[in-house]
Amino acid sequence: MHETKIAESTLFPSGSVLVIDRGYANYSWLHNLDCNCVLFVTRLKSSGAYIIKEDNKINDKHAHIISDQKIVFTTYKAAKNYSRELRLVTVYDALNDVTLELLTNNFTWTAETISQLYKARWDVEIFFKH
């Protein structure tokens, strides 16, 4: 069984924080997590079309944070599976020269915290590759 199916069948306690790869970004599962007060940070899928509902102020001391926005999905399937607002934090990874769009249901953490959580997840991936 693929690990995403195991994750989707796991009951996470309320207040849990999942930092997951975009391969896990099944929007109906993420909505279910949100409804059960489970927080998540993942990457937005490349097909994730959305509209910006609000731009949040960015702290100037974190130059790698490009934007911090509240969004809603606009494609029929994504909007049907996750109709609530989400937060999209866009960061620039200078080491790998890539821009990452980080999706979360947490609106209280700083954009830097969200960025650092995802970076920590990637460090675990690198560890397992070794």
Dump pLDDT digits (tens) for 35-74: 999 999 999 988 789 999 999 988 778 889 999 999 999 9
Counting other chains too, the contacts that 45-52 makes at CB distance below 8 Å and 24 or more residues apart are 47/75, 48/73, 48/75, 48/78, 48/101, 48/103, 49/73, 49/74, 49/75, 49/78, 50/74, 50/78, 50/86, 50/88
Please report the pLDDT score of residue 28 as a whole number.
93
Q: How far is CA 37 from the centre of its chain?
A: 15
Q: What is the mean pLDDT of the chain?
A: 91
Which two structure tokens, joined as six digits, stand for 103? 């999706």
> Where residue 21 falls among pLDDT bands split at 50, 70, 90?
confident
> Where residue 30 falls among pLDDT bands split at 50, 70, 90?
very high
SS3 of 82, please? coil
pTM of the entire predicted model = 0.89
Is 125's pLDDT higher than 90? no
Is 77's pLDDT higher than 70? yes
